[in-house]
Amino acid sequence: MTVASGWEITAHGVVLDLSEACVQTAARHARRDLVDALLGDGAVGPETARAVALLDAFIRQSDFAALRAGDADLAGHAGSRVLLRDEGDGRVVLVKLDRKERR
């Protein structure tokens, strides 16, 4: 499991912490951090490249205005966490996690 401020890679996908940002900003920041890790000289595993691909697909497929308008928790600053999970058919599913579900 890879963990950074605002996101973590798990066996199930990428978890985004929306305490300080909306879902769109959190996804973009996680992607940026992971691409920096891939391009840097740090040791990264294959899960890093899979997480970047997952985030790329999520960013490309999502209507962020509709997500934020449809659920205030996805607009950020509510302490929510979401899991981005690859369904295996090119779709990325967003699953809201219980706020109590902490590491």
Give the number of other Cβ atoms within 10 Å of residue 85's Cβ.
18
In the structure, what pLDDT confidence band is assigned to residue 63 with cuts at 50, 70 and 90? very high
Provide the 3-class DSSP secondary structure of residue 30. helix
Query: Which pLDDT score, from 0 to 100, does residue 99 have?
Result: 65
Query: Which pLDDT score, from 0 to 100, does residue 86 have?
Result: 93
89: which residues sit within 8 A by CB, 6+ positions away? Answer: none
Global pTM value: 0.88
Helix (H), strand (E) at residue 7: strand 7-10
In the structure, what pLDDT confidence band is assigned to residue 103 with cuts at 50, 70 and 90? very low
In the structure, what pLDDT confidence band is assigned to residue 102 with cuts at 50, 70 and 90? very low
- Helical spans, DSSP H, in the chain: 23-39, 46-61, 64-70
Query: Could you tell me which of 7, 102, 22 has the C-alpha nearest to residue 54?
Result: 7
pLDDT in tens, 6-25: 899 999 999 999 999 999 99
Does pLDDT of 38 surpass 50? yes
Two tokens, residue 103: 């590491």
